[in-house]
Amino acid sequence: MHPVIEALHAESAQFPPFITAVKLAVSIAIGLLIGFERQWSHKDFGVRTFSFTALLGGLTALMPLPVLLIAFAGVVGLAIVLNVRDILSSRSVEGTTSLALILTFALGTLSGEGHIFTATASAIVITWLLSLKPQFRAFAGGVTPEEIRSALLLGLFGFVIWPLLPAGPLDRWGLFRPREAWITVLVVASIGFVNYILLRLYGAKGVALTALLGGLVNSTATAAELSTTLPAAGLLGATFVAVLLTSVAMFVRNIVLLGIFAPQAAKLAIAPLFVMSSIAAWYAWRGRSSEDASEIKLTLGSPVSLGKVVRFACLFVAIQILGAAASKWLGGAGLLMISIIGGTVSSASTTAAAAHLSAHGNVSSQEAAVSTIATSMVSTLVNLPLIYRNRRLKPMFSKVTWASVLQLLGGVAAILGQSFIVSRL
């Protein structure tokens, strides 16, 4: 090769060709990703502008700091020009596109400095948020004061109240640890609130999805609501499916709660809960009809309010203390009895309490698993009176009862089979 060409292509310790090429390629990919979304949204700045901006960030990251600052000032100036032009022409501000352009430059800079993961992950999240504009607009247009208060309360519970609570136990047996108990309450409330938001966004997509999302928030309240609204709308067949699907959602939610706070107990409970949810899902699938696609509005209140959280916290603490005392005095049968009673009120609080007790060694993983299974079974049976009291649904009462009984039998069989297998190992 000619000496001049060799000199031009000579490797540099500061700029190794392969690594530099990867950095710049990632910068361009980031610009393309965000730019395509902006182009698809019919914005003035599209694929080429965002690609050039990201590449500029990647290149100036390899240069001295003053060059980087000048390039950044140029990008900010370009964003200002865009907004001034839009204000003069249409009296609107392209704030989102301008900020996305500046962020694209920053991500290109990160990529040029070698922070590939941070840059690519941020680019994907930014593009995802940009693409959700219709959903955000639809949701924001229907946000109620109750939902705003719920979000603020979650922040209050997590960042203000929690640090003020005592870290250690308040009793000599170590049963009540306010700070740890509050974390459990906060996690359960947060899960319920997220599911409530999903229900608000996608709950009108059909009876089946509404029942599943509502069951994740509050299975008993959802079953009660649907067993009233669906028959009134003439959707009797869909009611059977909806009630079963609320149970499926409740099983899933309880095993998730158990898995978060007591993973060992979750391993023991997952098989029986899976069997019960499979039986319920099979009956729901067999009973599906064209009615299941009907749109239905479920009017559940937000699960996060001061009254609801205080009630849940009191119930959680009561079940935790009573469960530990009953387990100590009566053994596993004591906790089982408390779990059965708790299942008639709230299977989520009972599951959380059992998991908390297992995590601190007050009960065994096996006892916590059986407690969760038992409270889930009872929560399923609570749906039967809801069906029976509605005279329109009495013809399907036997079908729901039979499906519920089979769920219980399947859960018991799974427990016995699991115990037999463990005893043989």
Distance CA 368, CA 264 (A): 9
- Of the pLDDT bands very low, low, confident and very high (cuts 50, 70, 90), residue 320 is confident
- Quick one: residue 270, left, alpha or beta (phi over 0 = left, psi -120 to 50 = alpha)? alpha
Tens of pLDDT, residue by residue over 265-298, are: 999 999 999 999 999 999 888 877 655 555 556 5
Band (142; pLDDT cuts 50, 70, 90)? low
Domain map (residue ranges) of the chain: 3-131, 144-424
- Asked if the model's pLDDT at residue 205 lies above 70, the reply is no
Please report the pLDDT score of residue 174 as a whole number.
Answer: 62
Q: Is the pLDDT of residue 175 over 80?
A: no
Per-residue pLDDT of 28-52, as tens digits, reads 999 999 988 888 888 877 888 899 9
Q: How confident is the model at residue 137 (pLDDT cuts 50, 70, 90)?
A: low
pLDDT attached to residue 246 = 87
- Measured in whole angstroms, the distance separating CA 373 from the mean position of its chain's CA atoms is 22
Q: What is the pLDDT of residues 84-115, one digit of tens each?
A: 877 777 666 667 788 888 999 999 999 999 89
Phi, psi of 16 (to 5 degrees): -65, 130
C-alpha dihedral over 317, 318, 321, 324, to 10 degrees? Answer: -110
DSSP category for residue 301: P
Torsion angle of C-alpha atoms 234, 236, 237, 240, degrees rounded to 10: 140
2 has pLDDT over 70: no
Residue whose token pair is 């059992």: 354
**Cα–Cα separations (whole angstroms), residue 321 to 165, 313, 353, 356, 360:** 18, 12, 9, 11, 13
